[in-house]
Amino acid sequence: MLKSPTINYKYLFKMKRNILLYLLLFSLLVNVFQYVNSKSIIDKYEKDINKFKTKIENLETKETTDLNLKNSK
**How much is the pLDDT for 73?**
63
**How much is the pLDDT for 11?**
79
**How much is the pLDDT for 48?**
96
Question: What global pTM score does this model have?
Answer: 0.54
Return the amino acid letter for 4: S
Is 35 contained in some domain? yes
**Residue 26 main-chain phi, psi, to 5 deg:** -60, -45
Element (H, E) at 4: none
**How much is the pLDDT for 55?**
96
Q: Which residues form the domain of 47?
A: 30-73
Say how many domains are in the chain.
Answer: 1
Low-confidence ranges of the chain (pLDDT < 50): none
Is 2 contained in some domain? no
